[in-house]
Amino acid sequence: IVILFLFFFILFNKRLDEWVTHDRLDLKKIQFPKKEAKTPTKNGLPGSRPSSPERDVKRKVEVVSPATPIPAVSETTQASVFPQNGSARRAVAAQPGRKRKSNCLGTDEDSQDSSDGIPSAPRMTGSLVSDRSHDDIVTRMKNIECIELGRHRLKPWYFSPYPQELTALPVVYLCEFCLKYVKSLKCLQRHLMKCDLRHPPGNEIYRKGTISFFEIDGRKNKSYSQNLCLLAKCFLDHKTLYYDTDPFLFYVMTEYDSKGFHIVGYFSKEKESTEDYNVACILTLPPYQRRGYGKLLIEFSYELSKVEGKTGTPEKPLSDLGLLSYRSYWSQTILEILMNLKLENGERPQITINEISEITSIKKEDVISTLQYLNLINYYKGQYILTLSEDIVDGHERAMLKRILRIDSKCLHFTPKDWSKRGKW
């Protein structure tokens, strides 16, 4: 046995590098191992995470006074200012809520003005990311060269299903009041002699200064609604265009001058939404972007939800610009409430996430996701604390100084309708 063992030991005890030289290795076929993708968290960062406030629906959030240590978070949220390392920080506690499953939405640009200290880059995870998995390459190719709308010439960004004979023209002419499309300037001039509209067809439900909003029923004004969708599709990448506009209401924002009411932007919403959507598609036309009109449209949609006594949320997934605009609006609206909390009878003020949702009509899930996006939620001694740094407070104050255009609820004349009792349209 010993002899056999020595025989096999001598026969097989050979190092690999002694009998396979380097020049005999074929390195072209080597496959290097791939790094495993880390699981993203709610904030879009890899790694593990503590339990989120969404799982604890009955926790309070507290706001601490300057002399007090950081309080614990519960469903009643408190906000207070206290010095930390020589700088004042505002702590607010937020109430968590349950998460809900969340077509496409694109809005303007003014949410990109994130010089207010609030993060501006969109998350790359979660339900608020545009779904590009089912794109049709043909429908992503721009087919209209130029559109003339009133005193503006617009270059479309995306495909829009206008009649095929218009796609070969250098310019497509639109009536800025009824949005009818024609193929030549002479045709437009003849149309303007017969068109008696000087504003969108519908009820004017808001006017302050030169800004007006008109409510258009997609069933009563089908031609205008379809033309509006065709125009909007030129600037919305993921809008699904349906010619059946009956189930939708369209709210068109206009600017008034001596010639009439000129369209600035619009948003649409379903007459009946099982998901509590208060916006289906939203758009500010390019000539009016970066002037605050996008947030004005968003704010108006939530003012309608307040009158209806509901909380609302935009239809998801959002486009990139839509996500930026809504994140900016939600952040400014929520921070405005937290910073205005005051002490009551010498005690820390308390506010729940449900109360924030009721005051703003922003869906509870959007409130929680915004707080997480801003990294305001901290876990401390079994409770959740919201901490506002000086940078965020100062940035918010600077952003609010720039936000001149606001909705005045006193100028809104709107009576919600119960569409469920009106039968099928």
The full 3-state SS of the chain, as one line of letters, equals: CHHHHHHHHHHHCCCHHHHCCHHHCCHHHCCCCCCCCCCECCCCCECCCCCCCCCCCCCECECCCCCCCCCCCEEEECEEEEEECCEEEEEECCCCCCCCCCCCECCCCHHHCCCCCCCCCCCCCCCCCCCCCCCCCHHHCCCCCCEEECCEEECCCCCCCCCHHHCCCCCEEECCCCCCEECCHHHHHHHHHHCCCCCCCCEEEEEECCEEEEEEECCCCHHHHHHHHHHHHCCCCCCCCCCCCCCEEEEEEEEEECCEEEEEEEEEEECCCCCCEEECEEEECHHHCCCCHHHHHHHHHHHHHHHHCCCEEECCCECHHHHHHHHHHHHHHHHHHHHCCCCECCECCEEEHHHHHHHHCECHHHHHHHHHHCCCEEEECCEEEEEECHHHHHHHHHHHHHCCCCCCHHHECCCCCCHHHCCCC
Q: Is 315 a known active-site residue?
A: yes
Active-site pick, 75, 315, 365, 397:
315
Catalytic amino acids?
A: 315
